[in-house]
Structure 1
Amino acid sequence: MTAAIPEWSAVCAVDDILPGTGVAARVLGRHVAVFRIGAEEFFAIDNIDPKSGASVLSRGLVGNLGEHLVVASPIYKNHFNLRTGTCLESPEHSVMPHRVRVEDGKVFVALS
């Protein structure tokens, strides 16, 4: 059995995401939130807040909660780990993390 090769989708230019913020994108029909931390670190998770069903995580506040790099949902304020998608308050409400790469000034996402 061979592993599937990820399908990379260009979502935006690097400069379209200000450091410390996120943007929403549709990748192969899925709502994805892409975050830029500092100048060169990018993360992607599902954009749908599992508790509310709204596509809003890309608009949440980014920061640290203890050792975790997180985004806080703008609706219920749950914190989602940007590396793993785990909801720190309610793990049953976790979201999927996705792979991100930057190439030639563009941000690409591959769904997990």
Structure 2
Amino acid sequence: MYQENSSSWTFACYTHDVPENGGVCVKVNEQQIALFHFTRIDAWYATQNQCPHRRQMALSRGMIGTQGEIPKVACPFHKKTFSLETGECLNGDECSIETYGVKVEGDKVFIGI
């Protein structure tokens, strides 16, 4: 499964590098990107790795889940939650995160910047 919203795809890692229902940090074009494999809903997501609350590079270590039908990630330090689809903060705060397209071809994962 992939989200296609970019015209520039960059190889990020192999599918086996990302834990099921978890995330990793990958470096793409000098940016730290949090890449998630949400196996429970058969989906891949990519966001900025930096939590906007305190500017810590931590989102790739956050817990993923859902809020209603919305797939989300919670910062491991501050528990702020963000939509993996839109980047919107689901706690009512005005901060948000960048999201990126992801596509999987065979065992290779690509991120669209």
Amino acid at match of 1:63: G
Give 2:43's match in structure 1, choosing from 41, 52, 55: 41
Q: Which runs of 5+ in 2 are unaligned?
A: 1-5
Greater shift, 32-41 or 79-88, is seen at 32-41
Q: What TM-score do the two structures reach when normalised by structure 2?
A: 0.87
Q: Which runs of 5+ in 1 are unaligned?
A: none
Give 1:102's match in structure 2, choosing from 81, 84, 104: 104
CA RMSD, Structure 1 to Structure 2 (Å): 1.5
Question: In the aligned structure 1, how far is the partner of 2:60 from the partner of 2:92?
Answer: 19
Question: In the aligned structure 1, how far is the partner of 2:112 from the partner of 2:93?
Answer: 23
Q: Which runs of 4+ in 1 moved over 2 A?
A: none
Question: In the aligned structure 2, how far is the partner of 1:30 from the partner of 1:91?
Answer: 24
Question: In the aligned structure 1, how far is the partner of 2:44 from the partner of 2:88?
Answer: 17
Indicate conservation of the 8 Å contact 1:52/1:75, yes or no: no
Greater shift, 46-55 or 35-44, is seen at 35-44
In the alignment, does 2:30 pair up with 1:29? yes
Partner of 2:68: 66
How many residues align? The count is 107
Q: What TM-score do the two structures reach when normalised by structure 1?
A: 0.88
Between 1 and 2, higher relative CO (CA 8 Å, sep ≥ 6) is seen in 2
